[in-house]
Amino acid sequence: MNPLPLRKKSPEELAKLRQTFGILPSPPAAQTPDERPSLASAPKRMGALPLPSAKIPADVAAPQRQLRPPSRSFKRSEHRPKLEADTPSLTATDATPSPLPLRRHSAQELAHARRHDALAVISRGAYQLPTAAHPVLLVCGYLLACGGAAAPTLLDGLSRLTGSYTLAMAWSQGYHLLTACTLAALVVAAVIYARNSLSRHHAAFIAIIVFFALVFSVIHYFSQLRHAT
């Protein structure tokens, strides 16, 4: 006997067989809310206008954003701190200039370096304080200036006391001695002015005395100039 049916049963016969065996028929599939009726299955109304196309021009739909050229801002709030990762790290092998020495110097090397720096500063004269002239140098300058100015008068008085005019004539009545003393006083005044800045007023006084002594000695030495004033 062949177990296979000779023909395919119809749906009505299958339903009767399910009823005889007590099998309930399956309910119809419910329509899901996501499934929406299409426009093609909707009934056409009279006089309905076709819907406009949803196509929008590209230039109207998505307007391009105009980018401004980058400009530097001076506001402190807009300045972002530079991250450490952005800066390239320097390795120990790079020959970078550094004020720190590569090794620790000894006490002798430090003393030698300090001595060298001190000698360099002293040679440039950066720490030379103003000094005053020695009192002996000042006394010599004033004695030469005043003694030279008074030399003709002193020699004249000495020759009258001794009754001998040989000394006065030998020194041309003291004018040669006046010239020598005043020139030596000028040299002393120049030394004081150049080396001792605190005693430059003494150099000026000595130079004034020498100037007047030379002027009046010239007037008295040359007889043609005695009535020139």
pLDDT, tens digit, 9 for 90 and up, residues 84-111: 445 555 554 445 556 666 778 788 888 9
| Paired tokens of 177 | 């001695």
The residue assigned the tokens 């030596």 is 184
On whether residue 167 sits in a domain, the answer given is: yes
Query: What is the DSSP track for 67-98?
Result: PPPP-----GGGPPPPPTTTSPPPPTTS----
Q: Domain containing 172: what range?
A: 135-225
On whether residue 32 sits in a domain, the answer given is: no
On whether residue 12 sits in a domain, the answer given is: no
Overall number of domains in the chain: 1
pLDDT, tens digit, 9 for 90 and up, residues 45-91: 555 555 555 555 555 545 556 666 666 666 666 655 555 445 555 55
On whether residue 160 sits in a domain, the answer given is: yes
On whether residue 35 sits in a domain, the answer given is: no
On whether residue 116 sits in a domain, the answer given is: no
Task: State the pLDDT at residue 118.
Answer: 82
